[in-house]
C-alpha cells in the first residue's frame, strides 16, 4: 500500500511541472499572438510602455523609484523606458512635490488614449480566442490568473 503523503507529493510535483510548462507556453504564445495580430491597435505601444501606462492610469503619478518597485524592474531600465515614452508624448514629467530634486511621471492624454486603444484591441482578441468558452469558465480563468498574479506580486515584495 502506498504512503498517501508520498503519492500526494509526487502528484503535486507533476501538477507543478504542468503549471510551469503552461505558464511558459502562455508567455510565449501570448507574445507571439500579440506580434502576429494584424490590427494596428496592437502595435501602438510596446509591452513595456503599455504596462507603465496601465499602472499610471490606475495608480496616478509616480516617481521613477516607486514605478520601478511596483513593476519589479531596475530603476535604470524604467528611466530609459520613461525617457523614450516622454519623447513619444506618452508621459510627462513634473517636479515631485515631496522631493524637490525628483520628478513624478504621469500619463498624458495621448498616452492614455493609446493605452485604451491597445486594451480594447486586446479585450476583443481574448473575446475571439475564448468565444467558445462558457461565461463561467472565462470567469474562473480570470479569477485564477488574478490569484496567480497576486501570489507572484507577494513573492516579489518579500525579496
Per-residue confidence band for 7, with pLDDT thresholds at 50, 70 and 90 = low
The reported pLDDT for the residue numbered 155 is 87
pTM: 0.80
Q: Residue 42 has what pLDDT?
A: 63
Q: Any idea where the domains of the chain sit in the sequence?
A: 1-36, 42-158
In 31-59, which positions are buried (b, 16+ CB within 10 angstroms) versus exposed (e)?
eeebeeeeeebbebbeebbbebbbbbeee
For position 6, what pLDDT does the model report?
56
Q: Are 52 and 115 within 8 A, CB to CB?
A: no
Tens digits of residue pLDDT in 69-95: 888 888 888 999 999 999 999 999 998
pLDDT band at residue 109 under the 50/70/90 scheme: very high
Is pLDDT of 110 > 70? yes
CATH number for 42-158: choose from 3.40.190.10, 3.40.50.300, 1.10.10.10, 1.10.599.10.
1.10.10.10
Amino acid at each position: 500500500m502506498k504512503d498517501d503523503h508520498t503519492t500526494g507529493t509526487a502528484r503535486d510535483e507533476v501538477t507543478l511541472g504542468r503549471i510551469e510548462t503552461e505558464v511558459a507556453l502562455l508567455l510565449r504564445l501570448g507574445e507571439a499572438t500579440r506580434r502576429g495580430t494584424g490590427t494596428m491597435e496592437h502595435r501602438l505601444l510596446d509591452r513595456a510602455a503599455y504596462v507603465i501606462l496601465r499602472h499610471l492610469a490606475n495608480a496616478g503619478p509616480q516617481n521613477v523609484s516607486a514605478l520601478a518597485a511596483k513593476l519589479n524592474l531596475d530603476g535604470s531600465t524604467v528611466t530609459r523606458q520613461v525617457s523614450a515614452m516622454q519623447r513619444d508624448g506618452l508621459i510627462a514629467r513634473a517636479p515631485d512635490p515631496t522631493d524637490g530634486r525628483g520628478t513624478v511621471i504621469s500619463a498624458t492624454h495621448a498616452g492614455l488614449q493609446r493605452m485604451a486603444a491597445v486594451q480594447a484591441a486586446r479585450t476583443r482578441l481574448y473575446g475571439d480566442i475564448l468565444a467558445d468558452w462558457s461565461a463561467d469558465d472565462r470567469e474562473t480563468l480570470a479569477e485564477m490568473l488574478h490569484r496567480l498574479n497576486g501570489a507572484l506580486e507577494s513573492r516579489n515584495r518579500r525579496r
